[in-house]
Chain A
Amino acid sequence: MMRGCLIALLVSLVLCATAAYAVDPTQMPTPALQARYLSLTHELRCMQCQNEAIADSPVDLAADLRRQVRDMLLAGRTDDDVRNFMVARYGEFILFRPRMSMRNLWLWLTPGLLLGVGALVAVRIVQQRSRLVPQDNEPLEEDIRS
């Protein structure tokens, strides 16, 4: 029983692996280019399927965009050139990791701002409490008299 499960798991893993490679067989001439190609195709959204990267999508548009990435890298363009090219045509939405801009600045700043407010509140509470402590330690009048 246990063995059967393990074998089934292995078989399904192998099947998944081949399926992942079947989408994009592109090989770049050098390992460095290949690494950049893979990282770029994984950070660009397939606009037709929207929750998939162009690296994983079997639709024609994703293939066209992968070819565009490959051609630009082979022509010696930088990663940012490729990103800018895509954003100029498809908008920021094509990037899975949005870049900082004036429009989304508040999204980047809000967590820091909230952390600051929280820290301020915490400091104030601690200060108030520490002021209370010495008063509590002073002996009561009755104690002194006795």
Chain B
Amino acid sequence: MNRFALPLGLFALLAVVLAIGIKHSPDKGTIASPLIGKAAPEFSLPSLTDASRIVKSSDLRGRWYVFNVWGTWCGGCRLEHNVLLQMRHADVVPIIGLDWRDNDAEALSLLSQLGNPYELIAVDHDGREAIDWGVYGAPETFLVNDQGVVVYKYIGPLTQEAWEREFLPRLPAKQAEKS
């Protein structure tokens, strides 16, 4: 009996470690953002749609918003475009866009073709703002609460299912009811 206790114990320990590994394997490849639970980066950037306007994070304080990083060069962004349009249509939470490393004229022409899901679009030509948000590949979508704190980050093209499963339940109840 005693002879088997140690090997059996070690085996059980190894099984637990491997089980934890297998359980977490679906999020392999996506990296949890250290921004979650922290204040969203402050920004003050030119607006894509209105040259005279500056998009400021301080103007967004007091409201929940979705912060979506995209670019015309980004194929995944094209995939999620319809989902974003539906979100705008449902009018649950405003979507703020960050046009990342892009050409303004191309971005505007794409939006006029496909429709504009964004309430405001900030322009990040040189990629400095994206670094502050820890962006490593578009599309990436953040949910920011009315205190200006990052609540959630989604990596990759948004789907209707992800919107319903990850975003809606995190929104305040009376806002989510609208959808």
A residues lining the B interface (CB < 8 Å): 47-48, 60-61, 64-65, 68, 87-91, 93
Minimum Cβ distance to chain B for residue A131 (Å) = 22
B residues lining the A interface (CB < 8 Å): 31-35, 101, 126-128, 130-134, 136-137
B133 touches A64 (CB 8 A): no
Please, which residues of chain A bring their CB within 8 A of the CB of B34? Answer: 87-91
Known: A47-B31, A90-B34. A64 touches B136 (CB 8 A): no
* Sample of 20 further A-B pairs with CB below 8 A, known A47-B136, A91-B32: A47-B31, A47-B137, A48-B136, A60-B101, A60-B127, A61-B137, A64-B126, A64-B127, A64-B131, A68-B131, A87-B34, A88-B34, A89-B35, A89-B131, A89-B132, A89-B133, A89-B134, A91-B33, A91-B34, A91-B134
A61 touches B136 (CB 8 A): yes
**Bound CA–CA A1/B31 (angstroms):** 50
Minimum Cβ distance to chain A for residue B34 (Å) = 5
Minimum Cβ distance to chain A for residue B88 (Å) = 28
Minimum Cβ distance to chain A for residue B66 (Å) = 19
| The 8 A-B residue pairs with the shortest CB-CB distance in the complex, in nearest-first order | A47-B136, A89-B134, A64-B127, A91-B34, A90-B134, A93-B31, A48-B137, A48-B136
Please, which residues of chain A bring their CB within 8 A of the CB of B101? Answer: 60
Please, which residues of chain B bring their CB within 8 A of the CB of A68? Answer: 128, 131
Please, which residues of chain A bring their CB within 8 A of the CB of B33? Answer: 91
Please, which residues of chain B bring their CB within 8 A of the CB of A88? Answer: 34
Please, which residues of chain A bring their CB within 8 A of the CB of B136? Answer: 47-48, 61, 90
Residue of A nearest to B31 (CB): A93
Return 22 A-B CB contacts under 8 Å, by A number: A47-B136, A48-B136, A60-B101, A60-B127, A61-B136, A64-B126, A64-B127, A64-B128, A64-B131, A65-B131, A68-B131, A89-B34, A89-B132, A89-B133, A89-B134, A90-B31, A90-B134, A90-B136, A91-B31, A91-B33, A91-B134, A93-B31
Please, which residues of chain A bring their CB within 8 A of the CB of B137? Answer: 47-48, 61
**Bound CA–CA A69/B35 (angstroms):** 20
**Bound CA–CA A55/B9 (angstroms):** 45
Minimum Cβ distance to chain A for residue B7 (Å) = 15
Residue of A nearest to B136 (CB): A47
Please, which residues of chain B bring their CB within 8 A of the CB of A65? Answer: 131
Minimum Cβ distance to chain B for residue A49 (Å) = 10
Please, which residues of chain A bring their CB within 8 A of the CB of B134? Answer: 89-91
Known: A47-B136, A48-B136, A90-B136. A64 touches B32 (CB 8 A): no
